Amino acid sequence: MEELTLTTPEVKPEEVKNKYHVVYFSMDHETGALVAPPPAPVVPGLVMIRLRDNLGGVLNHQYTGQVAIDFIKYINTANFTTNSLHKRILQRLTNDGVIVGTVTGTPDPPTGVFSSEE
């Protein structure tokens, strides 16, 4: 096979996936999720989470049943003064071994959808 070898090679930096952020969070306390194909009963409690990594990839995770119910109760009664909702979600995923890392940064400022002047 004939090929050309560049005199000056083009070097592309290695892509490294090293960060995630929350892009979707949903809680369903009542209807929950199917834990088996029909006609299995629906188990109440479903929490769905979607993260996006720094390369544009997506990681989806869900909690079902009593674990989801407990997570919903925890989020519902949380004080977000020192830790944001997203930080608590990322910490939970880390504690459960879904992803491993350290949560850093500060919450995003409002995007103009909500105004304190209204």
Walk along the chain (118 residues) in steps of 10 and give the mean pLDDT of each run: 72 84 92 66 87 92 93 92 91 93 82 57
d(CA 16, CA 23): 20
Domain count, the chain: 1
Task: Please tell me the predicted confidence (pLDDT) of residue 15.
Answer: 82
The answer to the question of residue 78 being in a domain is yes
What are the tens digits of pLDDT across the range 23-39? Answer: 999 999 887 666 666 77
Omega of the bond leading into 39 within 30 degrees of 0 (cis): yes
Outline where the chain has alpha helix (H).
65-76, 85-95
CB atoms within 10 A of CB 11: 6
Task: Please tell me the predicted confidence (pLDDT) of residue 117.
Answer: 55
Do residues 23 and 52 make contact, with C-beta atoms less than 8 angstroms apart?
yes
The answer to the question of residue 5 being in a domain is no
Task: Please tell me the predicted confidence (pLDDT) of residue 105.
Answer: 85
Q: Can you give the residue range of the structural domain that contains 57? A: 20-95
Task: Please tell me the predicted confidence (pLDDT) of residue 7.
Answer: 81
